[in-house]
Amino acid sequence: MNIVDVIRSLAGFAWLAAIGLGVLTVIRTSRNQSAKGVGSTVVLVLVAAIALSILGAGLVFLQANQYAVVRSAFQPNGYRREPLGPGLHWIIPFAESVPAENTYSIARQTYTMSAVTQEGQTPGDDSIRARTKDGQEVFIDASIIYSIDLTKVIQLHINWQNRFEDQVVRPTARNAIRDAVSQYGVEEIVSTKRAELEQLITQSIAEKMTQNDLVLVDFLLRDIHFSDEYAAAVEQKQIAEQQAQQAKLVVEQKKQEAEQARQVAQGQADAQVIAAKGAAEARLIQADAEAKANELLAASLTPTLLQYQYILKLAPGVQTIFVPSGNQFILPLPTSPTEPEVPQ
């Protein structure tokens, strides 16, 4: 409760008191009783009631987000030229007034149109039905955030009073959305041109609202949905694309498996070749070593060494052999091989 409400309440009580005292004065007078003191009190209370009534009628208090249009008997069009802003103001009592319907909120307001029940200002499905350039039917949920133009409050009151939401904001937004949607194909709306569509709608609504003393703060394209038939067709298309993508992945996987098998086989073949080369080289090295060893062995054999080795092989346990003087061995000694020729 602000100060104006307090003063008007006091004025009301003062009038009630004045009436009550007046009745009491009449009763006392009718009974031939003295009403001298009561009469003077009635006069004082009556003066106070009149003063408070005048004061209450001349004061106007507006909240921080309110502007008001003053109805005036001194102006040709019936209204003051300038609106009242937030705070306490004085107007000419009884010649000027500020009815409740002349007060407007300058705060930002949101008007929502949605298919979801109880989400928007209008109960039930309030989405905007529109047709695209290629004849598809779409349903759009949207919100308009707007405010009153402070410089045109009086003109707004003259033209629309408090009907501007239903008679300006709503029809302007719905018409702009339908016009914009009709310029695009359905595929463009849901993909590449959605931002462009939203910008086109915003510009159209802003121009129309400016012409009607309102300011568009923002336009929100909340959702785009389709008819059941088109939604089913889109779903089937997406399923087909997913299946094609899956088949492509399977083919790619098979290619990778084949390439992997080929690389494994190639690696095994290369390993076998390397192993064969290694074995051949090892055999050559071994043969060369054996040949060199045989050459060294052949070069080191002498008749005396052969006889000694022969004797050792006869009987490992025999340590002494007696041979008659001048006689041959019982067993013939192995003949000495021809001494190998030493390469020059």
Q: 94-141, pLDDT tens digit by residue?
A: 899 999 899 999 999 999 999 888 888 888 889 999 999 988 889 999
Digit-coded pLDDT (tens) for 260-288: 888 888 888 777 878 878 887 777 888 78
State whether CATH 3.30.479.30 applies to domain 108-232.
Answer: yes
**Quick one: which H or E segment has residue 30?**
helix 3-30
Task: Give yes or no for residue 308 having a pLDDT over 70.
Answer: no
Vertex 320 angle, CA 318 and 326, to 5°: 125
Note the pLDDT of residue 327.
53
Note the pLDDT of residue 106.
92
Note the pLDDT of residue 343.
47
Nearest residue to 85 (alpha-carbon basis) of 61, 114, 50: 61
Q: What does the alpha-carbon distance between residue 264 and residue 259 come to, in Å, rounded to a whole number?
A: 9
Per-residue confidence band for 84, with pLDDT thresholds at 50, 70 and 90? very high
Task: Give yes or no for residue 335 having a pLDDT over 90.
Answer: no
Task: Give yes or no for residue 181 having a pLDDT over 90.
Answer: yes
Domain with CATH 3.30.479.30 in the chain: 108-232
Per-residue confidence band for 332, with pLDDT thresholds at 50, 70 and 90? low
Are 68 and 103 in contact, with CB atoms under 8 Å apart? yes
CA 29 vs. chain centroid, Å, equals 83
Residue position matching structure tokens 């930002």: 108
- Please state at what angle helix 36-58 crosses helix 3-30, rounded to 10 degrees: 160
Are 36 and 46 in contact, with CB atoms under 8 Å apart? no
Phi-psi map region of 153: left, alpha, beta (phi>0 left; psi -120 to 50 alpha): alpha
What rounded mean pLDDT belongs to the chain? 82
Lowest mean pLDDT among 176-185, 298-307, 333-342: 333-342
CA 247 vs. chain centroid, Å, equals 31
Most confident of 49-58, 254-263, 269-278, 313-322: 49-58
Note the pLDDT of residue 242.
67
| Arithmetic mean of pLDDT, 7-21 | 87
Task: Give yes or no for residue 47 having a pLDDT over 70.
Answer: yes
Nearest residue to 221 (alpha-carbon basis) of 116, 108, 113: 113
Task: Give yes or no for residue 193 having a pLDDT over 60.
Answer: yes
Note the pLDDT of residue 116.
87
Note the pLDDT of residue 32.
72
Percent of the chain at pLDDT > 90 equals: 37
Digit-coded pLDDT (tens) for 195-236: 999 999 999 999 999 999 999 999 999 998 887 777 666 656
Are 209 and 172 in contact, with CB atoms under 8 Å apart? yes
- For the question of whether the overall pTM of this predicted structure is more than 0.75, the answer is no
